[in-house]
Structure 1
Amino acid sequence: MRFQWILGLPFLIWLIIGTTAWAQPEASVETSAHKISDTVQSSRPKSLTFTASTDQRFFFFSDTRNANNRRVPVSVYGVRAGFLFPPQHDRPALRGGRSASFKAGAGFYFINQRLDEPGLLPNTSESVTRHLRIATVYYERYLFRRKAFEVSMPIEFGYGHSRYERDDDQLNKHEVARGIFLPLGVGVAAAYQFPTVRWLRPLHWFGLNILTGYRFILKKDIPDSQINYTGFYISVGPSFFLENLTADIKYWRQKRKKR
């Protein structure tokens, strides 16, 4: 799996912001008034908290199979951004971390894939190149949280645009087929945030994430084709928690004001 592009941006932010903060001298801070939430403590935000992350998934399309007729995963890359919504009442299952009842927002995903199986499109015997662009809105309710570990249930609805390109070198033809599809996905996600280390606070900006679910296609892009995106999806890899970064920035600003 290609995670370099996922980790590059967070570490760049780390170098710029983290180095500046560490260069400042130590100062005493009031423990209760200026203590921020981390992966060990639990704090209830008084307002919405912005959150964003990269998202790499593996979709199992029915039209992408190996020689044994088994589905093979297709890499899907995207980003998500939204807000953490504070709970309106106490939920015993949510203890630790940045207390939030759910998060909601939007995402964008793209896929570029070469389909070597001829005949997927009507009246077509050649292989095609597929380009998918998917915009989604999501609602993700937290089910369980203990310190740095959390479990949630994301529900997503999207609007997708597809473009299929077919090149016939012998006849010197280039044909394009376009379509629109509507995906609906339901899944279960589990995340672990690395703990806070006093001399290495940026460590808790990162963690691990596991997501699995099932995707339903409410409307196909090309009804007469053999292409259907209904199926399972899975995501396993590193995660970057923007809300922990912004909390640390606020913490460092408060320390500077106290000097």
Structure 2
Amino acid sequence: MENTIRRQRTSGHYSFCGIYILFLLTLLAFPGFAVPKFETGLMVADTTGPKEAKPKSLTFTASTDQRFFFFNDTRTEDNRRVPVSVYGIRAGFLFPPSQRRDALRSGRSASFKAGAGFYFVNQRLDRPGLLPNTSESVTRHLRIATVYYERYLLRRQSFEVSMPIELGYGHSRYEINDEQAEKYEVARGVFLPLGVGVSAAYQFPTVRWLRPLHWFGLNFLTGYRFILKRDVPESQINYTGLYFSVGPSFFLENLTADIKRWRQKRKNKR
């Protein structure tokens, strides 16, 4: 039976905004937590471009992350897959290069970043008949925790290209409702996703009278998700498939570097 969907109702958008606002307020309330241990050492000679400072320690970084997954059971009337919004947040550390890499000539020098993330989906599939031979409708809840390693392939001033690799643990909860049969069931399952992708980001330039501008930028991500192992009811789909993300990006490391810079200037004036 061809599975279709009229529309996706996700309540996660407001929850996601709340998490993001709370996260930023926490950083402002406890700025010492967010300030990275980023020390400037000797200037590294560079005959092909401007000089740059070489970091000696890790730099904390975090960002919100909205992606679009393609599920087999979310389709239009003409059987085309419809992207499903997946909301998340990532946090980790930027690791300085252990040796010189010409592709990483940037004041924000880093060889790779690594950390953890959390993603969730609350999706209402309100068209009966999504499950074979039944009139049941489904509400789907997904929770996915991941660890990631993201190596930078190119990092030049305001532009960067990287290759993220993610391994996670996912939990699915399907609330199955059949009003005709007056039946309500909950089906749970787990799965192990592995994702490989390519990410490109652009950071807005630094403007002396508007420095917060360079805290933001644009990000593009595309990749493929493989399900290594799944233990889910037969009614649930295999989540292997394509994903992508296009939207604004927030560079926490730039914010915390500016906080440290402002603190140092105030200290020098005293």
Question: Structure 1 length as normaliser, TM-score?
Answer: 0.83
Contact persistence 2:115–2:148 (CA under 8 A) = yes
- Equivalent residue, structure 1, for 2:158: 148
- Equivalent residue, structure 1, for 2:194: 184
Counterpart-to-counterpart distance in 2, 1:226 and 1:161: 12
Over 3 Å counting, the alpha-carbon distance change for 1:55 and 1:8 in structure 2 is closer
1:177 deviates by 0.1
Corresponding residue SS for 1:53? strand
Corresponding residue SS for 1:249? helix
1:97 deviates by 3.6
Contact persistence 2:135–2:178 (CA under 8 A) = no
Over 3 Å counting, the alpha-carbon distance change for 1:97 and 1:190 in structure 2 is farther
1:95 deviates by 1.1
Residue 199 of structure 1, aligned match among 209, 213, 223 = 209
Contact persistence 1:120–1:225 (CA under 8 A) = no
> Unaligned stretches of 5+ in structure 2?
1-12, 30-39, 44-49
Contact persistence 2:191–2:230 (CA under 8 A) = yes
Residue 259 of structure 2, aligned match among 237, 249, 259 = 249
1:42 deviates by 3.7
Residue 213 of structure 1, aligned match among 223, 236, 247 = 223
Counterpart-to-counterpart distance in 1, 2:188 and 2:19: 33
Confirm or deny that 1:56 pairs with 2:69. Answer: no
User: Given residue 154 of structure 2, which amino acid in structure 1 is its aligned partner?
Assistant: F
Counterpart-to-counterpart distance in 2, 1:200 and 1:214: 38
Cα deviation, 1:82-127, whole Å, max 9, x if unaligned, reads 0000000000011114100000000000001122465555775412
Contact persistence 1:53–1:240 (CA under 8 A) = yes
User: Given residue 80 of structure 2, which amino acid in structure 1 is its aligned partner?
Assistant: R
Confirm or deny that 1:158 pairs with 2:201. Answer: no
Corresponding residue SS for 2:264? helix
Counterpart-to-counterpart distance in 2, 1:195 and 1:238: 14
Corresponding residue SS for 2:237? coil
Over 3 Å counting, the alpha-carbon distance change for 1:117 and 1:171 in structure 2 is closer
> Unaligned stretches of 5+ in structure 1?
18-31
Counterpart-to-counterpart distance in 2, 1:85 and 1:101: 6
Counterpart-to-counterpart distance in 1, 2:19 and 2:67: 15
Over 3 Å counting, the alpha-carbon distance change for 1:117 and 1:42 in structure 2 is farther
- Equivalent residue, structure 1, for 2:185: 175
User: Given residue 5 of structure 1, which amino acid in structure 2 is its aligned partner?
Assistant: C
Alignment map for 1:37-76 (pairs within 5 Å): 42-76=52-86
Over 3 Å counting, the alpha-carbon distance change for 1:92 and 1:177 in structure 2 is same
Alignment map for 1:15-30 (pairs within 5 Å): none
User: Given residue 163 of structure 1, which amino acid in structure 2 is its aligned partner?
Assistant: R
1:8 deviates by 7.1
Give the fraction of aligned pairs with identical amino acids, expressed as a percent.
78
Corresponding residue SS for 2:102? coil
Cα deviation, 1:36-93, whole Å, max 9, x if unaligned, reads xxxx974321100000000000001122111111111000000000000000000001
1:249 deviates by 0.4
Residue 90 of structure 1, aligned match among 100, 104, 116 = 100
Corresponding residue SS for 1:224? coil
